Amino acid sequence: MIILEKPFSNEEFVRVNSIEDIKKTKPNKTLIFKYCDSSLEVYNFCKINSIPYAVEVSNIKELIFISNLNAKYAFCKDLTTAKKLQEVAENYLLDTKIIYLAKSLDEIEKVASYSIDGIKVEKS
């Protein structure tokens, strides 16, 4: 299981919304987007430029779209939905990792019991 929190991971995340935001972001950051159909061009920009990014998704369609655009992570706030996304990711052998956005790392056992790829604590 991937734990996207220190000391387990040194990966740094930054929220962005547009290509202009991306251009202002320091290198070596993983971008985070909230899914939006109108942002598919932005995700494609990340794919073309080999920029690692994550997208908060809420359904299978969104997962499939971002996976086809090489998203590194699919973040999900609902554990039941994350389980469904994980099943799709495994069935289609997607490279995109499913990450549950938890309130704390205390949820790790429950997340592991659902066989989700990873966990990240959602910052308020």
- Give the rounded percent of residues in the chain with a pLDDT score beyond 70: 99
Average pLDDT, the chain: 97
Q: For residue 46, give the CATH number of its domain.
A: 3.20.20.70
Per-residue pLDDT, 124: 63
pLDDT(115) > 90: yes
Count how many domains the chain has: 1
Check: CB of residue 55 under 8 Å from CB of residue 85. no
Which helix (DSSP H) or strand (DSSP E) does residue 97 occupy?
strand 97-102
Enter the tokens of residue 78.
């609902």
Range of the domain at 89: 2-121
pLDDT(123) > 90: no
Task: Classify 121 as helix, strand or coil.
Answer: strand
Mean pLDDT of 45-60: 98
Strongest mean pLDDT among 25-29, 94-98, 120-124 = 94-98
Mean pLDDT of 72-78: 98
* 25 — pLDDT class (breaks 50, 70, 90): very high
pLDDT(3) > 80: yes
